[in-house]
Structure 1
């Protein structure tokens, strides 16, 4: 069961369409290599009314664009142009978290171009992802590429994050040391990648979906992030899934996949398609 903690009042009708179209795409990474982006569109003849590009989880060290394909496929059936993007992984082509963030920014730019060809401008588009991918989407939308420049224009109008890490400094010193090492963050610089530190008035609206028993990103840090966002005058919706653990949102026995898709579609259609 999901518990709604904050949301703009809106009534949205989600219409399930027939099976959509799927196609592969590629975008250029920051190092010049080609990275995959899987595209999912409404059925032939149906005009998308909103769009989202999503980034997979895997602690920046594993995973692929296929990971969120089920989510994108279902969103396309709701009239949403959805894409699942890969990015270079640490320990393989990426040296550190900065490489992953650079790829996420480039993926968003590529998605914006693809969406424009389908009649969607940036006011109808969102980014998002799962776990580390959700963190990448938040960083790309909230943190300037070259500090201390002002916060960047995110390129997208909203962010949807599934069980993301939002407060890197909420961990114990030992946990933080391991996190920095795994993500290729120089010691003592985790604050530069912690979304809660970059909450400012004017951050894009956000939907966060999180399990109350998440063992990787405890629900307390996400509640604090939500509170800070709202206090700054931003719109932030937090859906809590009772007793759900990390990565609760995939198809399978956890049983939350349909609810996650419903909430995501309602958020995208309510915030973006209605504007």
Structure 2
């Protein structure tokens, strides 16, 4: 695999037939509209002040090219802090377009934002997605000057499976990542509450089981290694947890916050009561999500 220079366009986006129902705003809207008739799909259109650089290839694999979309704020005398956004979809589906509404709004507030693609579980099992996202961090930091980005102020965020990935990368790369924002993603695969869903024998396999290539009893070291809480240490970055009204998706949060605190590292939780999982894809919940991210970032950076 090799990292590429800015301006190279995407040749092939990672997709796959293993995702029976694509995870995106449209399919999720159809599931939620009966119980939440007031929601609308959030727009990913950027305001005129924001420059969007799409399909920048950051990593070339033998069978696919991985790309990111970069949302740059209005020109400023100082380089902009960067928020890297990792999409959800159970490690098996989804794409970076799902993070566009957050990226566009963050850029309008003065942050650079990058939405990134990574290999899904049908293409490559754990830790391939982690390797990919780490490479996106490196590529963006190495090319920061070309985009007016401050490489010393890089934040990683993600939602659902992307929240777990972002949190894990943040714990593994504390020298590169200044802060983590985990939006409704797991912090501990090995906890009993997580395994009730992710190690359910009736799911053949579960989303996590497909990613790890086996159930907990078969691949326990991978389940531990993929848990962000496992890697919390004295140098870990601060973390913001933004959680929905469905507790199972953010399992491990309280234990991870306690472990961070034991090292003197700050964390915070913003709860959006009554919201479904995937709330970040829809109005009226995008704005409070961005407000929480903005407040945390300005305090932390």
- The interval holding the TM-score normalised by the smaller chain is 0.7 to 0.9
The one of the two structures with greater contact order (alpha-carbon pairs below 8 A, sep at least 6) is 1
RMSD of the TM alignment (CA)?
Answer: 2.3
The answer to whether 1:204 aligns with 2:234 is: no
Question: CA, structure 1 residues 129+173, in 2 after alignment: closer, same or farther (shift >3 Å)?
Answer: closer
Give the alignment of 1:1-275 within 5 angstroms: 19-24=49-54, 25-29=56-60, 33-44=64-75, 48-91=79-122, 94-143=123-172, 152-170=173-191, 171-172=194-195, 175-176=198-199, 178-186=206-214, 187-189=219-221, 190-218=223-251, 221-252=252-283, 255-272=284-301
Question: CA, structure 1 residues 258+180, in 2 after alignment: closer, same or farther (shift >3 Å)?
Answer: closer
Q: What runs of 5+ residues in structure 2 fail to find an aligned partner?
A: 1-46, 201-205
Query: Contact between 1:20 and 1:42, CA under 8 Å: does it hold in 2?
Result: yes
Q: Distance in 2 between matches of 1:226 and 1:162?
A: 14
1:179-238: CA deviations, max 9, x gaps? 5422124522211111112211120111110123244334xx212221221122111111
Query: Contact between 2:91 and 2:207, CA under 8 Å: does it hold in 1?
Result: no
Q: Distance in 2 between matches of 1:225 and 1:240?
A: 16
Question: CA, structure 1 residues 114+243, in 2 after alignment: closer, same or farther (shift >3 Å)?
Answer: same
SS class of match (1:207)? strand
Question: CA, structure 1 residues 182+50, in 2 after alignment: closer, same or farther (shift >3 Å)?
Answer: same
For this pair of structures, how many residues does the alignment match? Answer: 242
SS class of match (2:250)? coil
Q: Distance in 1 between matches of 2:270 and 2:62?
A: 37
2:6 corresponding residue in structure 1: none
Q: Distance in 1 between matches of 2:118 and 2:239?
A: 22
SS class of match (1:83)? strand
User: Structure 2 length as normaliser, TM-score?
Assistant: 0.73
Q: Distance in 2 between matches of 1:169 and 1:265?
A: 31
Q: Distance in 1 between matches of 2:116 and 2:77?
A: 23
Of 204-213 and 167-176, more deviation after overlay is shown by 167-176
SS class of match (1:260)? helix
Question: CA, structure 1 residues 29+233, in 2 after alignment: closer, same or farther (shift >3 Å)?
Answer: farther
Q: Distance in 2 between matches of 1:176 and 1:101?
A: 21
1:5-26: CA deviations, max 9, x gaps? xxxxxxxxxxxx9631111111
2:39 corresponding residue in structure 1: none
Question: CA, structure 1 residues 200+118, in 2 after alignment: closer, same or farther (shift >3 Å)?
Answer: same
User: Structure 1 length as normaliser, TM-score?
Assistant: 0.80
Of 42-51 and 58-67, more deviation after overlay is shown by 42-51
1:98-157: CA deviations, max 9, x gaps? 1111101111111212323344433311111111111111222223xxxxxxxx444121
